[in-house]
Amino acid sequence: MRILVAEDDASLADGLRHSLRHAGHAVDLVMTGAEADSAVASNEFDLLILDLGLPKMSGLEVLRRLRARQSRLPVLILTAKDGVDDRVRGLDLGADDYLVKPFVLAELEARVRALARRGQSDSAVLSHGSLSYDTVGMVASIEGEVVELSARELALLKILLERAGRMVSKEHLVDHVCEWGEEVSTNAIEVYIHRLRKKLERGGVKIVTIRGLGYCLERPRVN
């Protein structure tokens, strides 16, 4: 997933970024509410982690404006221990979940996984013919045998699996697996897909190129 973290405490923001990257996500950071507001208005994120106490526009105002634009972007708010009123207001304004500071990173990661699963299948395991992908353990396997994939290959595979049988554009892949300032071209995506294809071919997994547009993970044949 591509995640925007809006947090003005630099050390907490760094910790969040490190931990979420480790879990295979692309993470962008902003430190003010105004930056968060313009970032979510002009980029495709899959999740916003939003501190409510931000300078230059409160987190609540960022959230209010986001929902006023009819955005359904999942939002996890971070609140202070004594911020019961903020928490309630945040949930009323359309936050999907909250965490009270200080929290342990393992809990944040679990909440992020739960939000990522929302609106998709309830299972943490995505199956596709002989291939299965455990989104919690971040392990892909073919007939029970683990396939060694890089974090980025796993991120691409997850997107393709969630949209199996449908075309996914290269731009969409770039937007959802890359961070700001990362020089990842659509050509680089071709390279990742090429590697992924090689690693998965023994399982009969077919990633079809739709010339000039993108890719489609072919639905498995049912025998």
Asked if residue 179 binds Ca ion (CB under 5 A), the reply is no
**Residue 53 within binding range of Ca ion, rule CB under 5 A:** yes
Phi then psi dihedrals of residue 129, to 5 deg = 60, -125
Instruction: Give yes or no for a contact between 129 and 220, defined as CB atoms under 8 angstroms apart.
Output: yes
Nearer to Ca ion, 17 or 199 (CB): 17
Under rule CB under 5 A, residue 35 binds Ca ion: no
- 61's CB contacts (< 8 A; 6+ apart) are 33, 37
CB-wise, 54 or 116, nearer to Ca ion? Answer: 54
- Least CB distance to Ca ion at residue 106 (A): 22
Q: Which is nearer to Ca ion, 51 or 153 (CB)?
A: 51
Q: Which residue has the tokens 């077919």?
A: 206
- What's the token pair of residue 12? 């907490």
- Tell me the residue ranges of DSSP E strands in the chain: 2-6, 26-30, 47-51, 75-79, 97-100, 125-128, 131-134, 139-142, 145-147, 167-169, 207-210, 214-217
15 binds Ca ion (CB under 5 A): no
Residue nearest Ca ion (C-beta atom): 53
Nearer to Ca ion, 24 or 59 (CB): 59
Q: Which of residues 107-166 bind Ca ion (CB under 5 A)?
A: none
Which of 8, 61, 134, 179 is in the footprint of Ca ion by CB under 5 A? Answer: 8
Residues making contact with Ca ion (CB under 5 A)? 8, 51, 53
